[in-house]
Amino acid sequence: MTTLAPHRRGPGAVPVPGPRRRSIGLLAALVALLVLLVLSVLIGSTTIAPSVVWDALFHPSADIDQFAIRDYRLPRTVLGLVVGAALGVAGALIQALTRNPLADPGILGVHAGASFAVTVAVGLFGVRDIGGYLWFAFAGALIVTLTVLALGSTRQGRSPVVMVLAGVCVTAVLGGAREALQLTDAAAFDAMRSWNAGSIVGRPLELLWPILPFFAIALVLAFTVSGPLDAMALGDEVAVAQGVRLAPTRLLAIIALTLLAGGATAVAGPIGFVGLMVPHVARWIAGPDQRWIFAYSVLLAPILLLASDVLGRVAVHPSEIPVGVVTAFAGAPVLIALVRRKKASGL
């Protein structure tokens, strides 16, 4: 890949926030994230005193409340942090790649591809180990991404709405096939019932370790292609004129997207709409620079996911709402608001 000077916009084209505002915003997001991490460990169906939480983390003993913290709330919080960041960056990538403000790995069927592949792995091949079905998730995510990109491209370029419909179509078909597999096997059905809803509960932290290196690679890739993606936002011709090589950029972005969305789905099941909302908020705060959008997405998405998770614990106390349901309820109105805007294609 040729290295590119970061794309700079002419003065007055778009009001770009200054570096001060961006940095302060990033700091504020970091603080908010830390607060939510603490809240996520503190709040739950049983009330546990903060001192016990402290002891559980730093002076472990066999106390029952400490178990609740260490085996239940801590993994859940860490998962929310990592999965959230992955989903946020995946959303920012797919929106930049498709130049589609309605794009989201969930809406475009990437999650459905990954979860269908995981169901095939668990149901047909008897893979129970995440190191095994992770690869299935990657493959599923990749195939769907390529399919939806192909289906959503019209002769005049890419139409946001056709792409969304292509995603709906892929999601429906794969969802049907997945149900067919699950209905034939009651044990698999029960094991995957909560996974289908998209949840970060009851997953041991060990699930996360095999995925972390892939997420790291994907983040590096995302920041690598951020410059070319900025140029491509102005149109393919402009990007080519600026020396961007389209095919390698797209390829790297798709690989990063596959690793992030596939990995997140393999751990937490399909959690929709996070990738839709977060990049819009990031763009709103930081302006159109992809690097900043990625940086903000890394922080804002876990904030959204952890806040949704905490809300799901508090809302119907003592029962819980899976985080995927909460994010769908928060995110669907965003989709509706986006399409109600005058310029549905404005990104």
Partner 1 sequence: MNRVDFGRRVLVLRHGRIAVRVEQRSVVVCAVLTLAIAVLAVVALMTGSYHLGPGQVVAALTGGETGLVHDIVVDWRLPRVAAALLFGAALGVSGAIFQSMLRNPLADPGIIGFTEGSYTGALIVILVVDGTYAQLVGGALAGGMATALGVYLLAYRQGVQGFRLIVVGIGASGMLASLNVWLILKAELEQAMAAAAWGAGSLNGVSWDQVVIGGACIAVLLPASGLLSRPMRQMELGDEAATSQGVRVPPVRLGLVVVGVALTATVTAASGPIVFVSLVAPQIARRLARTAGITLAPAALVGALLCLAADYIAQHVAPTPLPVGIITVILGGGYLGRLLFTEARRRL
Using CB under 8 A, which residues numbered 104 to 123 contact partner 1? 106-107
Whose structure tokens read 């996070």? 274
Residue 288 main-chain phi, psi, to 5 deg? -85, 5
Q: How far apart are CA 325 and CA 32, in angstroms?
A: 23
- Contact with partner 1 (CB under 8 A) among 168, 188, 311, 314: 168
Q: Which is nearer to partner 1, 253 or 271 (CB)?
A: 271
**Piece of the chain touching partner 1 by CB under 8 A; list 6-14, 184-192, 205-213, 294-302:** 184-192
Residues 260, 90 contacting (CB under 8 angstroms): yes
Residues 42, 50 contacting (CB under 8 angstroms): yes
Q: Does 187 bind partner 1 (CB under 8 A)?
A: no
Segment (H or E) for 158? strand 157-158
Q: Which is nearer to partner 1, 176 or 243 (CB)?
A: 176
Classified as helix, coil or strand, 104 is coil
Q: Does 154 bind partner 1 (CB under 8 A)?
A: yes
Q: How far apart are CA 88 and CA 47, in angstroms?
A: 31
For the CA atoms of the chain, what is the radius of gyration? 20
Minimum distance between the CB of residue 214 and partner 1, rounded to whole angstroms?
26
The packing angle between helices 19-42 and 74-98, to 10°, is: 140
The span from the first CA to the last CA of the chain, in angstroms, equals 26
Q: Does 318 bind partner 1 (CB under 8 A)?
A: no
Q: Which is nearer to partner 1, 279 or 331 (CB)?
A: 331
Residues 87, 263 contacting (CB under 8 angstroms): no
**Piece of the chain touching partner 1 by CB under 8 A; list 31-39, 81-89, 190-198, 250-258:** 190-198
**Piece of the chain touching partner 1 by CB under 8 A; list 13-21, 164-172, 219-227, 290-298:** 164-172
- Contact with partner 1 (CB under 8 A) among 189, 207, 224, 245: 189
Query: For binding to partner 1 (CB under 8 A), which residues are involved?
Result: 102, 106-107, 151, 154-156, 159, 161-162, 164-166, 168-170, 172-173, 175-177, 179-180, 182-184, 186, 189-190, 193-194, 196-198, 272-273, 319, 321-322, 324-325, 328-329, 331-333, 335-336, 339-340, 344
